[in-house]
Chains A and B, each alone.
Chain A
Amino acid sequence: MSVKKGSLNIIRLAHGAGGSLQEELINFITKNIPFKNVNNGVGVEELDDGATIPLKDYEKEIVVTADGHTIYPLFFPGGDLGILSICGTVNDLIMMGAEPLALTSIIIIEEGFKFDKLYKLINSMNLMSEKANIAIIAGDTKVMPRGSLNEIIITTTGIGIKDKNIKVLDSNVKAGDHIILTGSIGDHGTALMASREGLNISTDLKSDISLLLEIYKAIKSEIKNNYIHAMKDPTRGGIAAALNNWAYKSNVSLWIEEEKVPIKKQVIAICDMLGLDPYNIASEGRALLSVSPIHSEIVLEKIKSTTIGKEAKIIGEVRAENPKRVFLKTIVGGTRFVDMPLGEPIPRIC
């Protein structure tokens, strides 16, 4: 295994930001894992939202996903770390086309953390798991000396179940498909940035954090019939990272129309001010779907009938030419390329 020298021999914050540096880090960690899948199910090398364990004599398979949750600030407009730790993991199961069944939870706490804060977080977790109708069946708790981590980390593992023949994968996006986005982009990341110290931005913008379960239930039969080829929640790295992932893994090009992408004017204003691209900013309650063109209108209508998918839109289409690229037809009619975001979005100078 090659180890970099000098100043490159350190993990940088950008290695965790969902962009191409993160791919480098994941590859570093996973490339020498000796066994990467079970019974030829989806394994770690696919770098999808989760993995599958096909069981030989059954028509169903188990879907597993894991997510370590940290966030600053712990309590943010529209949510908190507790809500995030349930939604993030449940949503990842759904993005694999699975029905969520159970969660495990590991809570690592810094010495000195206050019980009342912990209570609030646990309460949020319980409320969300009730809403998701999902059991928390096992877990672990550790307390670490002051300074060895920042406040608290919650890691959850999600277990779901799905029919073996359902194939909802990043690598399954097909030329001709229509791309549906279930709501406005960048609300979560922008609300979080605005709430951090030092920026003094006052806004009513809230995180879009939510369970995607309602959408899953609305389109369950389309998932079962394999009309939906891929689903992805655009979290870290925003829709730019999610779409580039699809284009790359499915060897297709994606053509997005900027004027169809729902985006709140507060998000545009704050991102413009900070010099950030909303396409790179995380959502926590949205999904992208790649749907066969014949069924895209039906799927769209079903998503729009849910409380969290009212603003859903078909934002673009999939083509075979120029594979591995994402193109954007801009609001004024020009064309440009949407790149994989590189690292942590930082506000620019002037």
Chain B
Amino acid sequence: MIYIDIPGLNVLKSKEFTNKIVKKINQIIKEIGKPLKFMHVCGTHEHTISKYGLRTLLPKEIEILSGPGCPVCICPAADIDRAVELGKRDDTIITTFGDMVRVPATNISLAEIKAKGADIRIVYGPNDAIKIARENPNKEVIFFAIGFETTVPLIGYEIKLGPPSNFSVICAHKLIPAALELLMSQSQLKIDGFISPGHVSTIIGLKPYEIFSQGYRIPNVVSGFEPNDVLLSILMLLRQVRDKKYDTLNEYSRVVKPEGNIRAQKIIEEVFKPVSSPWRGIGRVFDGGLVIREDYQAFDADKKYDIKIGKSQDIPPGCSCHLIMVGKLYPYECKLFRNQCTPINPIGPCMVSMEGTCSIYYKYYSEENS
């Protein structure tokens, strides 16, 4: 067993340090003297906040909203419909990440067509999908590619490397900064600061966030995923609000470099190009998604196949996922939550993924502490 001890990791989970940060947070919010709303846009941040009960440690004046940070949740039904359509073909194997299989599309999920005999396989990464393509030369192997900047370079790298000709990609990748900008323009939200996602920032660096601190004058802190990472980021946001100095700061400096991962950025740039793209529950986001460039269109499933789908439906009747995803509603404010909609029988996308806000709230919040 190779176990890497990350220096300082104990501090990031230490109660003494937590108490110090919380004390400071309480002090500064008193100085500021008004309630504040901070938003994170990452399922893993929501997971940390909920799993460690961080909301119960914060003063009531600080509200932490959960933004559109779950890649499975924001994947439009139309994209899943396309995967389902291709998955129905006898000569086709659809490969994708675990949670994606269960997400209800307009009528049916990949899991349901799998139960009826379609060849749908869960993989841990695109390299596994390519392995399947090599092992099955008589089949068409399609990788249903979802995720933010974090997963894009993996797929770009494989496409650049030259996969076998029976391999192609349904490209449903989305870009985080564009969505944040859309959220900013929704004036009724009134966000006082962003807790930005550490994983995405590892790739893109700090620069794409500068528009928020400099343009919108909203403080921004790129945060890690341990409990004291998140609390420290909240403290860093509070200090900016108090001092009225708006910046993009890096709390996760042990991983995120200011310039990001340049090699990964080059791969993204070379293989994909940004396009205006629909997000489930949010709508069309300018430069919010990626498509595969013409040079690599041999591996673009949308170019390779003539996929015909009907009119898609992102949000089923009664479901509040579109409001929950942008922080306008808490999951327990939705009528379906814990009633008709549970992780066993999810109605909306936020209940399906383990990164989804509803699923996380279902697991960690009881009536008593929500």
Binding site for B on A (CB under 8 A): 7, 10, 14, 20-21, 198-199, 202-205, 259, 265-266, 269, 275, 277, 322, 325, 327-337, 339, 342-343, 346-350
Chain A residues near B228 (CB-CB < 8 A): 332
Other-chain residue from B71, B122, B343, B369 in contact with A350 (beta carbon distance below 8 A): B71
Q: Which applies to chain A's interface (DSSP): helix, strand, loop or mixed? A: loop
Chain B residues near A337 (CB-CB < 8 A): 363-366, 368-369
- Is B126 an interface residue when CB atoms closer than 8 A count as contact? no
Other-chain residue from B1, B15, B56, B227 in contact with A202 (beta carbon distance below 8 A): B1
CB pair A269 B3 closer than 8 Å: yes
CB pair B124 A347 closer than 8 Å: yes
CB pair A334 B354 closer than 8 Å: no
CB pair B2 A335 closer than 8 Å: no
Interface size class of B (residues with CB under 8 A): 35 or more
CB pair B115 A10 closer than 8 Å: yes
A259 to B57 CA separation, bound complex (whole angstroms): 17
Q: Nearest chain-A residue to B58 (Cβ)? A: A334
Chain A residues near B28 (CB-CB < 8 A): none
The 3 closest A-B pairs by CB, nearest first: A334-B53, A349-B97, A337-B366
Binding site for A on B (CB under 8 A): 1-3, 13-15, 18-19, 50-57, 71-72, 97-100, 112, 115, 122, 124, 128, 147, 150-151, 199, 227-228, 231, 343-344, 353-355, 362-366, 368-369
Chain A residues near B50 (CB-CB < 8 A): 336
Other-chain residue from A14, A325, A332, A349 in contact with B99 (beta carbon distance below 8 A): A349
A269 to B97 CA separation, bound complex (whole angstroms): 21
CB pair A198 B344 closer than 8 Å: no
Chain B residues near A325 (CB-CB < 8 A): 366, 368
Q: Given A334-B52, A348-B355, decide whether A21 and B365 contact each other with a Cβ distance below 8 A.
A: no
Chain A residues near B354 (CB-CB < 8 A): 275, 348
CB pair A204 B344 closer than 8 Å: no
Other-chain residue from A20, A269, A330, A348 in contact with B98 (beta carbon distance below 8 A): A348
A25 to B155 CA separation, bound complex (whole angstroms): 40
Q: Given A339-B362, A348-B98, decide whether A330 and B369 contact each other with a Cβ distance below 8 A.
A: no
Chain A residues near B343 (CB-CB < 8 A): 342
A332 to B57 CA separation, bound complex (whole angstroms): 9
Chain A residues near B368 (CB-CB < 8 A): 322, 325, 337
CB pair A332 B55 closer than 8 Å: no
CB pair B364 A333 closer than 8 Å: no
Shortest distance from the beta carbon of A15 to any chain B beta carbon, whole Å: 10
